[in-house]
Amino acid sequence: MDKVVLWVFNALIAGFGVFVFIGISSAHKRMLDNRDEARNVYETIKGKPVVDIASGMMGMSAVTEFQPENMDYIREKYNKNSTMYFKWTQMISIFPLMGLLGTVIGLIPGLNAVRDGQFDLLYTSLSTALYSTLIGLICSIVLKLITASYSSTISDIEDYFEENDRKYNMALNLNRVKKDIDQGN
């Protein structure tokens, strides 16, 4: 009976590994979608910064269109998806612990078998218990490799948002300067 419990526990570890993989992959996909949405919004900004060197004034060309509400919405979505991605990746550290828990659960009947002189049961308990550690470690390693392959993409997305947010904020500030100058004249 204990062997069945351990195999069920091992199946739960593996199933949870698949569940975490799906969560990490879907959060990564949503972040990529956010990047594409941001590109579309950034591309709708029309107008160029204009600097008049003689007067030292900055402004925007005649037609400048901004959609700060769209960009704020995309940024909020990205932050939410980034947080979810981080939460999913934090679950990877649970797998070795689950494997060790399965090993400890399997060792208990094995130790009782030693006391009773049932060495066949000891062997079965130990081998089944160690499979828990193996499954936990394999899940952890595979998921770490997947997140490592995603990390450059995540870093690129962060850099993309940072650079474009800087440009977007500069454009908004230049537009405010232009409005202030227009109101002052």
pTM comes to: 0.73
Cβ–Cβ under 8 Å, residues 95 and 13: yes
Query: pLDDT by residue for the chain (185 residues), tens digit each?
Result: 467 877 888 899 999 999 999 999 999 999 889 888 877 776 666 555 555 555 555 555 544 555 566 677 888 888 898 899 999 999 999 999 999 998 888 888 888 888 888 888 888 888 888 899 999 999 999 999 999 988 888 888 888 778 777 777 776 777 677 777 777 75
Q: Which amino acid is at 147?
A: T
Which residue's entry shows tokens 């009976």?
1
Q: Which long-range contacts (CB under 8 A, 24 or more apart) does 76-83 make?
A: 77/30, 77/34, 77/37, 78/31, 78/34, 78/35, 78/38, 78/157, 78/161, 81/27, 81/30, 81/31, 81/34, 82/31, 82/154
SS3 50: strand
The domain limits of the chain are 2-47+68-150
SS3 147: helix
